[in-house]
Chain A
Amino acid sequence: MARFNHKKRRGLVKPPVVKNQPTVDQITGQKIPKSFVFSRGRLPGPVRQLELDLRKLMLPHTALKLKEKKRNKLKDFLNVAGPMGVTHFLMLSYPMSSPHLRVARTPQGPTLTFEVQEYSLAADIARSQSRPSYPKELCDNSPLIVLSGFGGGDQHLKLTTIMFQNIFPAIDINTVKLSTCRRIVLLNYNSETKLIDFRHYSIRLQPVGVTRRIRKFVQKHEIPDLRNLKDVSEFVTRVGYGSESEADEESATVDLASDIGRVNRASNKSAVRLQEIGPRMTLRLVKIEEGLCSGNVIFTEFGKEVENAHPETQEE
């Protein structure tokens, strides 16, 4: 913070509007879970980028510009978390040259430690796509969460599912507006390799049965080029070739309850199309502890010898 503001004053400076986020969900009555995403220890370049991507993922109920200093210890975060109503910590660390993600519930909740075996940044994924899109409105609502493959009755898997379900706020089926569901987080457990695939998609709804030209014309404010047409009706009725993914859409059609956007109308079939955004991770569950990075170890991946090999990294 500058002591003396040397900037020129240009007119009246409006005070920044601070949105007071509700702590309690008005509809469900439950507490809205908030999270902090931070790092423990020094992270190399790409892993720091991963931390920022995770913050974007957790929006809006997280601190996007959380300022963490080297000397901040876990206690500091805990002290702040109480009054602010933060319920979950997502901690990235880098012991032994591989990033680890810890998901913990404050103040005394269990801690799940995952080893991130592979990860891709959001920027990499956007680069590999032909038409990346990331509208700002995606971040206004929390993502949905889909957990698949966790079916087994193993204790640690159950705990994982419960933990992830509680990170994101619950939605009430009766009252939710479908236009607010713009993102989805997928956690797929592969029981053979015991790896969890973490993906983050954005949802797009497209009306079924409308040709591409009309849909594009309505969505964008573009006036179409009609000079080659003899009559306007040709614009409407011309049969264009269908895209290859239309066959897949048949199974993905949804009857919408309400109008979404300009194109999708209620009681008309719309197709659900997902586009990947955000980081992509392959996680492996390593450890579950009872306390917040402390306490009894409920589950370890390998067995007893691991408890000595994975010492607690120094709190920074």
Chain B
Amino acid sequence: MAAVLQTFEAAAAAPTAGRKRKSNHSKAKKPSKKFKRTHMVADKHRQPSNKMKKLFRKRAREYHSDEEEGVDEELPADPSSDEEENGEKDLYVGDYGGGDSEGDEEEHEEGGQHGITRFLEGCRAFKVAFAKIMKKHLQDDPLGPVLSAHKKLVAEKLADEDSEQKMKGETKKLKQSVSIIIIIIIIFSGHVKPDTFLDAKEKLLISIATKGVVKLFNAVSKAQNSLNSSSSKDAKALAKRRKQAFFSELQKPTTQISDSSKRNSNEPGWAPLRESYMLTNTKLKDWDKMAVSGKRMNNSPTPFFIYFFYGLSKSFASASRRLLIDIFLFCTQEPSAEIGAEKVLSDSSSEEE
């Protein structure tokens, strides 16, 4: 750039040894004076014709006048669209680029004229463009002060990349979530949680199982009853005796009780009053040997009282309940004997309390 100006200056100043030019130029071209005329010696060898000199002068004048006019023209043209300016700038840039290259060539004599004309235009264009750029506010871009077109392109590229990345990220997440869902579905595919517990199918299955169990139990009971006839006899005998005792008790309630208190070893009529009641085949077989509050009682005629005394232990409580069961069973089986049951119950309840 400096070299270009220099050469121009040299070219402009060379034909004019006159001070006029210099004086005219002095105001406008003060900074140009800094550039030394290094090319003066070289340029002296080739001296253009007078016609050329005149042409040069004309051109110089044009150039200088354009600069001022250009400045004036620029001001009203500012509000014009940026695109036009950019377009113009592009043009100028392009021209400048062309001018630069031409300027390089301009050192050769051949095509020197063409080079100069184009060079002049390029220079002018460059000046205008440069001024425009300096005037325009630059946005603080991360891209930096880049020429507009490139900036646009780069910005677009970045935006595209961003959007692409976002898309990729989203799709990735989507894919991941979908894959997770699929995996979960696959894992839990066989797992069924029953909503309604008993639907028809389940009821059917339960009934099948029940039938099987019933068959089995009946078979077992048949087999065991036939084999162990002795044990069954005991149970029946016990039941029979209980029934007998109960009926007898109904007829003679008071005498029975008084008799039972007197009789020790003779078995009383009513089953609970017997010594062997609930003491065979149950946990209470050796109840008197169990350590309960230190007291040990000998065989007493009425185990019922004893149960009352040692009501703390569980087994005795169960024994009392067992007693109640007997009574209840009697009630369920023989509703006619309700009155007797009532009495027995009242006795037992009063005694327990």
Say whether B190 contacts A117, CB under 8 Å.
yes
B146: interface (CB < 8 Å): no
A209 to B331, CA, bound (A): 11
Min CB gap B331→A, angstroms: 5
Say whether A176 contacts B220, CB under 8 Å.
yes
A170: interface (CB < 8 Å): no
User: Which of B308-353 touch A at CB < 8 Å?
Assistant: 317-318, 321-322, 324-325, 328-329, 331-332, 335, 338, 341-342, 345-346, 349
B205: interface (CB < 8 Å): yes
A56: interface (CB < 8 Å): no
Say whether B212 contacts A214, CB under 8 Å.
no
Say whether A186 contacts B191, CB under 8 Å.
no
Task: Say what secondary structure dominates the interface of chain A.
Answer: mixed
A257 to B229, CA, bound (A): 11
Say whether A203 contacts B213, CB under 8 Å.
yes
Binds B, one of A7-15, A32-40, A230-238, A290-298: A230-238
Chain A, residue nearest B346 (CB): A232
Q: Select one of B207, B212, B220, B331 contacting A184, CB under 8 A.
A: B212
B224: interface (CB < 8 Å): yes
Say whether A254 contacts B193, CB under 8 Å.
no
A-B contact count (CB 8 A): 144
Residue with the highest number of chain A CB atoms closer than 10 Å, among B193, B195, B232, B322: B193
Binds B, one of A72-80, A151-159, A266-274: A266-274
A3: interface (CB < 8 Å): no
B186: interface (CB < 8 Å): yes
B210: interface (CB < 8 Å): yes
B33: interface (CB < 8 Å): no
Say whether A128 contacts B194, CB under 8 Å.
yes
A209 to B193, CA, bound (A): 36
B230: interface (CB < 8 Å): no
Q: Select one of A98, A124, A262, A272 contacting B189, CB under 8 A.
A: A98
Say whether B190 contacts A199, CB under 8 Å.
no
Say whether B213 contacts A236, CB under 8 Å.
no
Say whether B321 contacts A218, CB under 8 Å.
yes
B221: interface (CB < 8 Å): yes
Chain B, residue nearest A49 (CB): B191
User: Which of B201-227 touch A at CB < 8 Å?
Assistant: 202, 205-214, 216-221, 223-225, 227
Q: Select one of B195, B209, B221, B331 contacting A199, CB under 8 A.
A: B209
Say whether A148 contacts B212, CB under 8 Å.
yes
Q: Report 16 cross-chain contacts, Cβ distance below 8 Å, ordered by A residue.
A: A46-B191, A116-B190, A120-B193, A120-B194, A124-B193, A128-B197, A173-B224, A186-B208, A188-B205, A231-B342, A233-B338, A237-B335, A251-B214, A257-B220, A272-B217, A274-B206
Q: Which 3 A-B pairs have the closest CB atoms?
A: A146-B212, A257-B221, A257-B224
**Chain A residues in the interface with B (C-beta under 8 A):** 44-46, 97-99, 116-121, 124-125, 127-130, 144, 146, 148, 173-174, 176, 178, 181, 184, 186, 188, 197, 199, 201, 203, 209-210, 214, 218, 221, 231-233, 236-237, 248, 251-258, 262, 265-267, 272-274, 276, 280
Given A265-B329, A273-B210, A274-B209, 8 more contacts at CB 8 Å? A46-B191, A120-B191, A128-B193, A128-B197, A146-B213, A233-B338, A266-B235, A267-B239
